[in-house]
Amino acid sequence: MADIFDVLADPTRRELLATLLGRRVQGATNGELSVSELVELVGFSQPTVSKHLQRLREHGLVSVRTEGQHHYYRLESAPLRDVERWVGDFLDDEVPDQDHENYPGSAAFAAWSGAEVGDSLGRRIADGTHQARSAVEEAAGKVKERLPRLPRR
């Protein structure tokens, strides 16, 4: 789970995901965009877009279809659903019907959609995950130091 937060913490990758989401919402071409179309839409260089698409692909956030020399990418929601379920555990169970815009879950969605709050939220989640991992490793090291050494057979 920690790695996906690192992937989502990058604003370029979130912008690529949001662009692919926009294409899917429009219903055009099965939500697919070629690398050259993505380059044009997001305004980054082709090598930058390709590098970030590869990282997104490694984590299952996008899939690719190759046709000749062209690669067509589309958003894959399953890993984001896993994140949504994980984040949901930390949110209130009750959401007033009239207050969906102020619900904390909207901040998590903003992180995935490329909104400015995503930079802060994504980085905080990644930092918190790193701190938790470091604390667990440190605690495990201390426990290991205190365990009696068993004789080898």
Q: What is the DSSP string of 58-114?
A: HTTSEEEEEETTEEEEEE--HHHHHHHHHHHTTS-S---TT-GGGSTHHHHHHHHHT
pLDDT top residue among 129 and 40: 40
Going by C-alpha positions, the residue among 104, 115, 98, 85 that lies closest to residue 21 is: 115
Give 131-134's long-range contacts (Cβ < 8 A, gap of 24+).
133/2
Arithmetic mean of pLDDT, 20-33: 82
- Write down the pLDDT at residue 16: 93
- Write down the pLDDT at residue 4: 86
Q: Judge residue 60's burial from the number of C-beta atoms within 10 Å of its C-beta, 0-12 exposed, 13-18 middle, 19 or more buried.
A: middle
Q: What is the pTM of this model?
A: 0.59
- Give 14's pLDDT tier (boundaries 50, 70, 90): very high
The predicted-structure confidence for 74-127, as pLDDT tens digits, reads as follows 999 888 888 888 888 787 665 555 555 555 555 555 555 555 555 565 666 666
Q: Strand 70-75's sheet: what is its strand order? A: 33-34, 70-75, 62-67
- Write down the pLDDT at residue 13: 93
Is the pLDDT at 129 greater than 90? The verdict is: no
Report whether 35 contacts 73 (CB < 8 A): yes
Domains and CATH numbers, the chain: 2-87+105-132 (1.10.10.10)
Is the pLDDT at 28 greater than 90? The verdict is: no
pLDDT top residue among 41 and 99: 41
> What does the alpha-carbon distance between residue 54 and residue 72 come to, in Å, rounded to a whole number?
12
- Write down the pLDDT at residue 89: 79
- Write down the pLDDT at residue 49: 94
> What does the alpha-carbon distance between residue 153 and residue 150 come to, in Å, rounded to a whole number?
9
